[in-house]
Amino acid sequence: MGPITFTLTGVLVALLVVVLMKLFKTPHAPAPAAAPVEDLANLQPSQARAGDVISIAGAGDNMTDLDFTSDRCTWFQAGAHNWFELSGPYHERRVAMRVDTSGDRGVTISNEVRQPTLEDLGLSEEDLAQMDERQNTGDDFNFDGKVWQYRLSREVQSTRSDQPQPVGFYCWEFQEQNGAGLLSLCKEQAEPFAVTRYRGIPAADVTIYRGTKR
């Protein structure tokens, strides 16, 4: 075997070693992205969750702050419309903060001592059935000296943090004309209508204190 043959053999062996090293070399996995750090001093309503303490300036009884611990969270989906609601006890009743996550309705709260009934609104089941059939945002009715405009009616799916199974019901919503009020009329099968009145508040009035419940 001549010198040239030895040289070629050496080159081939070297190339083989390089190829094998590349094949078996373990690539460095990219470092996992660091999870974003919450600014606990400036939590927004959209970041609130079950277990948090919620304080809403001037929204409580006698113009005091509305302070409550949210013991449950409920997520709602009605087509492309999504929102969640945090509720908890306050002065022997249940209050709630609702946060719209898919539109411009912002933050509303329900802290009524007594919620209205369908009869209080002056509506009947037939009235609601006709509105649902028309799906006309020009429909409205009068209640408590205000005009309430039809916004939507459709099937809603809800999932509550303290219940394993989602619940379906039908819902009608009405917006206060030239105001931030909201009326929600919900009907579960074989159950009476449940009416909830909400009023809009500035998001800046809400302070969230992070709880330990997840």
Residue spans of alpha helices (H) in the chain: 3-24, 118-121, 125-134
DSSP characters for 30-74?
A: PPPPPPPPP-GGG--GGG--TT-EEEETT-SGGG--EEEE--EEE
* Lowest model confidence (mean pLDDT) among 72-76, 141-145, 160-164: 160-164
Q: Residue 45: what pLDDT?
A: 95
Taking 60 as the threshold, does the pLDDT of residue 29 lie above it?
no
Q: Residue 32: what pLDDT?
A: 59
Q: Residue 8: what pLDDT?
A: 41
Q: Residue 41: what pLDDT?
A: 87
Taking 70 as the threshold, does the pLDDT of residue 52 lie above it?
yes
Burial label for 149, CB within 10 Å (0-12, 13-18, 19+), is middle
Average pLDDT over residues 68-82: 95
pLDDT tens digit sequence for 109-134: 999 999 999 999 999 999 999 999 99
Global pTM value: 0.80
Taking 70 as the threshold, does the pLDDT of residue 10 lie above it?
no
Q: Residue 20: what pLDDT?
A: 47
Average pLDDT over residues 204-209: 97
Q: Which residue has the higher pLDDT, 13 or 143?
A: 143
Taking 80 as the threshold, does the pLDDT of residue 18 lie above it?
no
Q: Residue 154: what pLDDT?
A: 96
Q: Residue 127: what pLDDT?
A: 98
